[in-house]
Structure 1
Amino acid sequence: MFKNIFKNIGPGPLVAAAFIGPGTVTVCTLAGVGFGYSLLWAMTLAIIFTVVLQEMSARLGLISQKGLSETIRSEIKHPVAKVFAVVLILSAIVVGNAAYEAGNISGGVLGLETIIGNPSFDIGSVSVNGLSILIGIIAFVLLYLGNYKVLERVLITLVILMSLAFIITAIMTKPNLVAVFKGAFIPKFPEESLLTIIALVGTTVPPYNLFLHASLVKEKWHDKKDLKHVRKDTFIAVIFGGIVSMCIMMAGVSIQATEVSNASDLAKGLEPLFGSYAKYFLSIGLFAAGITSAITAPLAAAFVANGCLGWKSNLKSKKFRAVWMVILILGILFSSLGIKSIEIIKFAQVANGILLPVIAGFLIWIMNKSSLLGDNKNTTTQNVFGFAILAISILLSVATLNKVFHLNIF
């Protein structure tokens, strides 16, 4: 029985692991600390968006047996448009994931430091964080093995660990269930909450997940008859991932303090209220969130680079390994030395902000092509949801540009 259950678990948990990284944990923590339960509805909205877009991406991967970046390269015929799309995608996903990788590793480090302290050491006049190197080595070994089944099992185990940690933390804080349900289904816009709402939606629907999902589905499944398994895997994993994000927000509600700026602060803040166990559970969750994202971000970048540049998609190929190695090594370097690549991250934010509506628009267009998908193209209902998401993703794009460049659009 359990063997059959795990047999049909696919890339869904890996996609959930990718969007519940340290950035998501921090955004959800700050949303709970700053606005209580009132922004839980934004996460409900984000779950709907993610389910719709990830289902399209997964369906594309199964039916076409191509990754999203490969499809973009083959379906856009105009040479100028093709070059623009490839450059934008490579900039946002490959360069962007390199910039965020240090944050993923540092997030895992924060979780461990809360429990075991900071085992740093000096090389000359430079202080190096040993935990960053440890997490980097773990990620390197798992990626270098190039075995999808091993990678899948390890990440699913980490996702289960992360989920249990955050759910138990939320239960320990004894949330007001009436307020939780109201917050989850009744939209409210507290003062100065707009950017937090946008961040909650944006961090749950990162563009690189759309590329990662299509590529992983074709690694796992090859028969059109498996579409029901693909959909079930996607729906369960994304909804469960959203619930985990909500649990992080609920834990944040119990701490109403200005000094909380990230999940590590929340872990320390929970200790005097709920005992040391609360701190440990949240710290373990943050560690698992960091290490899973530290693995999936380089993996997504390698799939994207392969598809955009026309390389063979093989987990053990030299070119594939070269891409994720560069991103992982940069992440380890920046994290272990405490370097904050502000300008690169700012560039990645802009590129990802522009990319989300572009990719959502392309996805809707490609999912209506009978020549590629046959009877599995989008239904009218799927298109209605898709275009609604496209409109809101444009708002997210404008808001991202507004935030980075201080345009004062709203």
Structure 2
Amino acid sequence: MAETTGIGTGERAQPRPRKASWRLIGPGIVVAATGVGAGDLVATLIAGSKYGYTLLWAAVIGCLVKISLAEAAGRWHLATGRTLFDGWRSLGAWTTVYFTGYVVVWGFVYGAAAMSSSALPLAALFPDAMDLKIWAVLCGLVGLVFVWFNRYAVFEKVMTVLVGVMFVVTVYLAVRVTPRLGEALAGLVPVLPDGSLVYTLGLVGGVGGTITLAAYGYWVNAKGWTDAGWMKVMRLDNRVAYITTGIFVVAMLFVGAELLHSSGVALAKGDKGLLDLGDILADRYGGATAKLFLVGFFATSFTSLIGVWHGVSLMFADFVAKYRPSLVPAGTSRERSLPFRAYLLWLTFPPISLLYLDQPFGLVVVYGVIGAFFMPFLALTLLWLLNSARTPAEWRNGRLSNAMLAAAGLLFVVLCVQQVRELPW
């Protein structure tokens, strides 16, 4: 708990401000690592392969957007002492209806996707060991056991190690392909090549943008940051995290620009595109570089898996606690609660069936619609909450925060419409 300084009998104790320190950061690394999955790296690689360095500016803006969203979520938790679901609930019953549908359907489909993504690099590293589906099930079970038996402190340390692996691999690849820094700097000037508008918006909105941005405040609380005295620490933590994300994104765009754009090579869509890149790296730089890349691919995918297993389960436990407090008795750790573990099981076992069956058509459509609405839902509800009397006046949005959240909301509404239009109706 944060230390407080009393200001008199009957008056509310004020939190003692903490100095921002590199030694204290952690939740931001967790949220950034979870949000950047294999699909984000493929999208960035394809951007580099199609447009070279031209869209580098869009990737940078995307990171700034995520900084503003994660900062807003963390600020709500620290300034109000309430969780984000508390805030959503105060806006009306419609938020509860949406969140319920989201966590049920999204979790079911995402579980299968996360397991498959983590299995792909393992199957490529050990081609004769076992079937891809068995690798996927194994990844899901390992994630389940790890999150079930470990609390936040251990979880954060493991995530930090995996982020270190991601960082080393991506930066190594970016250096290995010998980027043209002059062209890269020119790519920081906003330019829209013909036919690139929707793709650019996707690059701005897609990298590191998932429900895990909403989970950031929960990880902040799990770290022990519980009041506004931690605000400076949280902001440093958040900025470091998304600068790290920016380095990942820029590094992969460099690889796409140098390795794919110049040679006209096209990658497959989805996570399998990273396997294509592994083959290209093996041909160009040898098997050792390709294997190192596959290790980084696994770290990227598995951080997303265990991050969602932990963070979204925390959110679900908080959701249940508001309606059935008997299931999360006072003083019980959310990580040890029945709802937390029930959602862990939901993320792991029902999705295994999707690994062996084609995803039902109706489920794909519902998943696509609910998922497309989440980021505009997050941006616009944060804008609402942080400009209302629900937030102490000192910590309400300023002009810059309002501009960033409004721009993010508009961006995600446009992307939402585009995603819904592209669904296989």
**TM-score interval for Structure 1 and Structure 2 normalised by the shorter chain:** 0.7 to 0.9
For structure 1, which segment, 380-389 or 222-231, has the greater mean C-alpha deviation from structure 2 after superposition? 380-389
Call closer, same or farther: CA 1:237–1:150 in 2, change over 3 Å.
same
Partner of 2:50: 34
**Which secondary structure state, in structure 2, belongs to the residue aligned with residue 174 of structure 1?**
coil
Partner of 1:63: 79
Deviation at 1:171, TM superposition (A): 1.2
Matched, 1:119 2:129: yes
Deviation at 1:105, TM superposition (A): 1.9
**Which secondary structure state, in structure 2, belongs to the residue aligned with residue 120 of structure 1?**
coil
Partner of 1:86: 96
Call closer, same or farther: CA 1:249–1:98 in 2, change over 3 Å.
farther
Q: Normalising to structure 2: TM-score of the pair?
A: 0.85
Deviation at 1:211, TM superposition (A): 2.0
Deviation at 1:6, TM superposition (A): 6.6
Partner of 1:295: 306
Partner of 2:397: 378
Partner of 2:10: none
Partner of 2:280: 269
For structure 1, which segment, 94-103 or 152-161, has the greater mean C-alpha deviation from structure 2 after superposition? 94-103
Matched, 1:249 2:260: no
RMSD of aligned Cα (Å): 2.3
Q: Normalising to structure 1: TM-score of the pair?
A: 0.87
Contiguous gaps of at least 5 residues in structure 2: 1-19
- 2:344 equivalent among 315, 320, 324: 324
Larger radius of gyration between Structure 1 and Structure 2: 2
Call closer, same or farther: CA 1:195–1:331 in 2, change over 3 Å.
farther
Deviation at 1:20, TM superposition (A): 1.0
User: For 2:73 and 2:127, how far apart are their aligned partners in 1?
Assistant: 41
Deviation at 1:209, TM superposition (A): 2.0
Partner of 2:202: 199
- The answer as to whether partners of 2:219 and 2:311 remain within 8 angstroms in 1 is no
Call closer, same or farther: CA 1:259–1:215 in 2, change over 3 Å.
closer
Deviation at 1:169, TM superposition (A): 1.2
User: For 1:56 and 1:376, how far apart are their aligned partners in 2?
Assistant: 10
Instruction: Write the deviation string for residues 14-35 of structure 1: whole angstroms up to 9, x where unpaired.
Output: 1111111122122122222222
- The answer as to whether partners of 1:55 and 1:234 remain within 8 angstroms in 2 is yes
Matched, 1:238 2:258: no
For structure 1, which segment, 211-220 or 91-100, has the greater mean C-alpha deviation from structure 2 after superposition? 91-100
- The answer as to whether partners of 1:17 and 1:289 remain within 8 angstroms in 2 is yes
- The answer as to whether partners of 2:316 and 2:339 remain within 8 angstroms in 1 is no
Deviation at 1:279, TM superposition (A): 1.1
Aligned 1:1-400 pairs, distance under 5 A: 7-73=23-89, 75-76=90-91, 81-82=92-93, 84-120=94-130, 129-183=133-187, 185-204=188-207, 206-220=209-223, 221-253=225-257, 254-255=259-260, 256-258=264-266, 260-261=268-269, 262-309=273-320, 310=322, 312=328, 314-335=334-355, 337=356, 339-340=358-359, 343-400=362-419
- The answer as to whether partners of 2:365 and 2:424 remain within 8 angstroms in 1 is no
Q: How many positions carry a matched residue from both structures?
A: 389
- The answer as to whether partners of 1:26 and 1:263 remain within 8 angstroms in 2 is yes
Runs of 4+ aligned structure 1 residues displaced above 6 Å come to: none
Partner of 2:17: none
- The answer as to whether partners of 1:41 and 1:187 remain within 8 angstroms in 2 is yes
For structure 1, which segment, 280-289 or 362-371, has the greater mean C-alpha deviation from structure 2 after superposition? 362-371
Deviation at 1:365, TM superposition (A): 1.3
User: For 2:361 and 2:98, how far apart are their aligned partners in 1?
Assistant: 20
Call closer, same or farther: CA 1:8–1:332 in 2, change over 3 Å.
farther
For structure 1, which segment, 322-331 or 155-164, has the greater mean C-alpha deviation from structure 2 after superposition? 322-331
Larger helix proportion, structure 1 or 2? 1
